[in-house]
Structure 1
Amino acid sequence: MLKQTWLWLGRQLGRMLLLLLALGLGGWAAGTLYYKEKHSGPVSSEEQIPPGEAALTQAIIEDAIRIVEQHRDNTRVLRDAHAKAHGCVKAEVTVLSDLDPSLRHGVLSEPGKSWQAWMRLSNGNAYPQFDRTRDARGMAIKLLGVPGEKLMEGARHDDEQDFVMFNHPVFFVRDVAEYRSNFAAQADGKKALAFFPSWDPRTWEIRHLIIALKTLAPAPQSPVATTYNSIAPFKLGPHNIKYRVIPAPENCPQYRLPEPNTDLPNFLRSALYQQLSLDRVPACFALQVQRQNPSYYMPIEDPSVEWDEAVSPYETVANIQVPAQDFDSTEQNRFCDNLSFNPWHSLPEHRPIGGLNRLRKAVYEAVSVYRHERNGETPNN
């Protein structure tokens, strides 16, 4: 009798699990079909600025300054994101000699041209933490000696062109309104509510939560061993594009980094120092662009959507070399800390577009000014 009871319970449990599995798969299939139907082309090739974005931007600036103050290092005010640098290194960016004429715009207008640059490699968090902690990783490149009128006024940036990236292809919010809601929850210390703003399931952002979790990835072996993405779109002359930087070890002498000790809090800086300063081996990358095809779902205003490479593959436009160098000095680290990177330090041919980039223009500048004023410093370049 007892055996029959357990067998019956087992059958019922099995049926229940199968039912739950069927419901889950059905829900996933329905969600996938709904997403494909709702998010299908064509899309606009022009920016579409929603009403109220300016007020939301001001509120985000206030939240960003709150976060900066929460993460002060003793008396020093840090960046509101990417606070911990692995190093600022000198780099050279060389435009392909046979670049497609349709892509020759801005700093890419002269095939074979080489630009000297600073490259900052960093963790994404607003507070310095152990490198083995799951986090985003960032790369910012500042080209130097770039002539021409820039989009942001100010003599400090008259000769600069900045590129700002991190190592995930999409962002975890779709627009400025969602960024405001998400960022406010984080500033209040309520990270769990960032993707669940109310009890109404229709407001839940499960897909964006998954993107955020994927963004917080294990550390690469080295800061020069991962791909960095612009996430948001930009102009390249008449084109709407996204760009990325990928490792290109084939362009450098063969090198194998010794196995890193991930128990060290700053092992990513150590890996960079090992390659560039001790072993004296350069690191190589390729700068690539992906053109928007508005006939497909490649939106400008939603950076949570990855543009399909099968529709529009990335094209290499320049090579980047980080030469062997000594970079880990007190003076250079302080110089690095004072550098201000902003995608709006830019020629008009590379104008940032989309809501996330419009937000960056205001927030990056406001937080940079606030940080340097509180630290009693003048920003470098």
Structure 2
Amino acid sequence: MIEKSNHREEKEIQEIIKTMKDFLAKTYPDGNIRRNFHPKMHGCVKGMLEVRKDIPAPLRCGLFKKPASYEAWLRFSNAPPIAQSDKRSSGRGLAIKVLDVPGEVLEPDPIGKNSQNFLLTTSPILSAWNISLYRKAIKAVLFGWKERLRFALNPGHWRSLYLTLKYSKKHDNLLAQTYFSGGAFKYGTGKYVKFLLEPHHPELEYTLSEPKSDDFLKAQLKTDLVTSKQGFTLCIQVHDNEKTEPLENTSIVWKKESIPVADLWIPRQEFDFPEREELGDALVFSPWIAMADHEPVGEINRARKRVYQELAELRSS
């Protein structure tokens, strides 16, 4: 059901890495290379993940095996490869690094502590659902209108384009969004899940007195976190049926119920200062910086493993 890496897949991954490195070399000719996607950070903030006590016994596994509290770093961002105005439609990202997790991990974290990463966006799917389409879509996004036109003229790409546009939206408040893992993950032995993060206050809006600026999402986040504690509920959707919850095809929205497993608390704080900006830019996130019980599955996740590793090394070199 979950195919192993093969020669075709390796070739596609190498081409993806080359495309991304070519883009970064062109975009940052003087060095100081930023992330290929999600370079615009709204804020790097402190959080606390509290594993719930009421998780059903069959779902007590890995990070969620027993009640516990973990410190975490959260990085809010815009998805596009070039920083743009927050007023434009876009995907938004929330990357979470849960610190000092117990047990075996798949990859060490450069931060020096075992961690569990969750890479989430405001889209419930990944619109490029196989590695070949992923490679072509990345090239189209990164290399101008001619590549985008070439991609768009292929009828085989139209569904991916439709899904990308469908889930690219305008947002008023980062703390009011639901964030999704996109791909699937192992959940111990014999189970697979997707993760989603549901806001405690989905009613939050833009409340600042001045008109929205190009960076209004950060300004709103600063105001909200100075005035009150915020939070999300981390949930799982459990895979039961390959037709309705496919593990490989990331373009299908899972309709399963969301089961709460933890609360993510964001205490009142200030985060807009140089040292925190530097930390947020330096943090490395990958779905493979994770506990063995939550190993990513599928060819898109396998591609992400190599791509994220090599680009993180490039940024730190």
Class of the TM-score when normalised by the shorter of the 2 chains: over 0.9
User: Does residue 1:289 correspond to 2:236, yes or no?
Assistant: yes
Q: Partner residue of 1:39?
A: none
Long gaps (5+) in structure 1: 1-43, 374-381
CA change 1:215–1:121 in 2 (3 A) is same
Shift of residue 147 of structure 1?
A: 2.7
Is the 2:176–2:201 Cα contact (8 Å) retained in structure 1?
no
Matches within 5 A, 1:68-147: 68-72=24-28, 75-111=31-67, 113-147=68-102
The 3-state SS of whatever aligns with 1:139 is: strand
Which amino acid in the other structure matches residue 319 of structure 1?
Answer: D
Is the 1:47–1:353 Cα contact (8 Å) retained in structure 2?
no
CA change 1:170–1:155 in 2 (3 A) is closer
Shift of residue 87 of structure 1?
A: 0.2
Which amino acid in the other structure matches residue 327 of structure 1?
Answer: F
CA change 1:65–1:372 in 2 (3 A) is same
Aligned counterparts of 1:321 and 1:74: Cα–Cα separation in 2:
39
Aligned counterparts of 2:62 and 2:234: Cα–Cα separation in 1:
14
Q: Partner residue of 2:150?
A: 193
Aligned counterparts of 1:70 and 1:262: Cα–Cα separation in 2:
34
Which amino acid in the other structure matches residue 130 of structure 1?
Answer: S
Shift of residue 185 of structure 1?
A: 3.1
User: Does residue 1:236 correspond to 2:204, yes or no?
Assistant: no
Residue number among 247, 257, 281 corresponding to 1:300 in the alignment: 247
Q: Partner residue of 2:135?
A: 180
Shift of residue 274 of structure 1?
A: 0.4
Q: Partner residue of 2:104?
A: 149
Report the more deviating stretch, 232-241 or 289-298: 289-298
Which amino acid in the other structure matches residue 55 of structure 1?
Answer: K
Shift of residue 165 of structure 1?
A: 0.7
Aligned counterparts of 2:87 and 2:101: Cα–Cα separation in 1:
37
Is the 1:66–1:187 Cα contact (8 Å) retained in structure 2?
no
Residue number among 1, 7, 17 corresponding to 1:61 in the alignment: 17
- 1:119-174 Cα deviation digits (max 9, x unpaired): 00000011111111211100000011113231125664551110001001111111
Report the more deviating stretch, 132-141 or 174-183: 174-183
Report the aligned-residue RMSD: 2.1
Report the more deviating stretch, 47-56 or 124-133: 47-56
Q: Partner residue of 2:294?
A: 350
Q: Partner residue of 1:326?
A: 270
CA change 1:333–1:108 in 2 (3 A) is same
Which amino acid in the other structure matches residue 158 of structure 2?
Answer: I
Shift of residue 196 of structure 1?
A: 3.1
Report the more deviating stretch, 236-245 or 148-157: 148-157
- 1:277-323 Cα deviation digits (max 9, x unpaired): 2x2x011100010011125432111101112x2xx211111111100
Q: Partner residue of 1:208?
A: 160
The 3-state SS of whatever aligns with 1:115 is: strand
Q: Partner residue of 2:222?
A: 273
The 3-state SS of whatever aligns with 2:28 is: coil
Q: Partner residue of 2:173?
A: 222
Is the 2:181–2:196 Cα contact (8 Å) retained in structure 1?
yes
User: Does residue 1:339 correspond to 2:283, yes or no?
Assistant: yes
The 3-state SS of whatever aligns with 1:131 is: coil
Which amino acid in the other structure matches residue 14 of structure 2?
Answer: Q
CA change 1:255–1:301 in 2 (3 A) is closer
Shift of residue 371 of structure 1?
A: 1.1
Is the 1:131–1:266 Cα contact (8 Å) retained in structure 2?
yes
- Point out the structure with max Rg over C-alpha: 1
Is the 1:96–1:317 Cα contact (8 Å) retained in structure 2?
yes
Is the 1:157–1:345 Cα contact (8 Å) retained in structure 2?
no
User: Does residue 1:245 correspond to 2:197, yes or no?
Assistant: yes
CA change 1:257–1:321 in 2 (3 A) is farther
Is the 2:81–2:142 Cα contact (8 Å) retained in structure 1?
no
Which amino acid in the other structure matches residue 102 of structure 2?
Answer: P
Shift of residue 229 of structure 1?
A: 0.3
The 3-state SS of whatever aligns with 2:46 is: strand
* Length-normalised TM-score, structure 1: 0.78
Shift of residue 184 of structure 1?
A: 2.5
CA change 1:272–1:187 in 2 (3 A) is closer
Aligned counterparts of 1:139 and 1:332: Cα–Cα separation in 2:
16
Long gaps (5+) in structure 2: none
Aligned counterparts of 2:90 and 2:230: Cα–Cα separation in 1:
22
Aligned counterparts of 1:106 and 1:77: Cα–Cα separation in 2:
35
CA change 1:188–1:276 in 2 (3 A) is closer
* Identical-residue share of aligned pairs (%): 29
Aligned counterparts of 1:260 and 1:206: Cα–Cα separation in 2:
41
The 3-state SS of whatever aligns with 1:246 is: strand
* Length-normalised TM-score, structure 2: 0.92
